[in-house]
Amino acid sequence: MLDFDTCNAARLRRDPAFDGKFFTAVRTTGIYCRPVCPVKHPHTENVGYYPTAAAAERAGYRPCLRCRPETAPFCAAWNGTRTTVERALKLIENGALDTGSVAELADRLGVGARHLSRLFSDHVGASPLQTAQTMRIGRAKRLLDDTTLSITEIAFKAGFGSVRRFNSAFLKLYGRSPSTIRRPRQ
């Protein structure tokens, strides 16, 4: 968190470089704002600063209806649905769909499975399952290139449920089996 003097100077200048970096809470009104808010400046002795909109709300302040601080840049709400997709991609990368379903992933994200599929279609251009499959194949390809693990070990480390599915996915994508893709060791 920035110090009081830095925040105060940025607020008084309405400096857009600090938008989303801190929030100004006004004790006399019970409202918190972004540093770029166009309202009349409150007296310095009546303000406090918070690092996030959530921190200001937890302290009992409500958002300004003019500058909409809960949608400030770098806030999850400001990024909108892209944030949900980014969170889903991180969970998929960490194996959420290797053992779970799209419905379970959607529940973890607080959305419905159909809505999650629509978001993936809009932002990624593929379904969550297709995305997970691509990530699994990418992990497997790196393991094939960089390790001497057996094909069975690679299949399971990459997130495939069986060697048969692993071989099938490689055959479908590359038209060859995983063992023929592996680079020969020098």
Dump pLDDT digits (tens) for 20-36.
Answer: 889 999 999 999 999 99
Q: Check 37, 56, 97, 144 and give the catalytic one.
A: 37
119 and 141 co-located in one domain: no
69 and 123 co-located in one domain: no
28 and 49 co-located in one domain: yes
pLDDT tens digits for 109-133?
Answer: 888 999 999 988 888 888 999 889 8
- Of 35, 33, 30, which Cα lies nearest the Cα of 8? 35
Residue 27 resides in a domain? yes
Given a contact cutoff of 8 angstroms between Cβ atoms, the answer to whether 3 and 21 are in contact is no
Helix (H, G, I), strand (E, B) or coil at 136: helix
74 — pLDDT class (breaks 50, 70, 90): low
48 and 111 co-located in one domain: no
Question: What CATH number does residue 140 fall under?
Answer: 1.10.10.60
183 — pLDDT class (breaks 50, 70, 90): low
The whole domain housing 53 covers: 4-76
* Burial of residue 33, with CB atoms counted within 10 A of its CB: 0-12 exposed, 13-18 middle, 19 or more buried: buried
Q: Is 75 one of the annotated active-site residues of the chain?
A: no
Q: Please report, as a single letter, which amino acid is at residue 41.
A: H
Model pLDDT, residue 43: 96
Q: Check 56, 67, 89, 92 and give the catalytic one.
A: 67
Q: Check 33, 53, 106, 143 and give the catalytic one.
A: 33
94 and 141 co-located in one domain: no
Instruction: Give me the mean pLDDT over the 27-52 stretch.
Output: 93
Q: Check 10, 26, 31, 64 and give the catalytic one.
A: 64
Number of domains in the chain: 3
Q: Give pTM, 2 decimals.
A: 0.58
Q: Is 7 one of the annotated active-site residues of the chain?
A: no
The token pair at 4 is 């009081």
Given a contact cutoff of 8 angstroms between Cβ atoms, the answer to whether 140 and 178 are in contact is yes
The token pair at 116 is 């999650």
9 and 26 co-located in one domain: yes
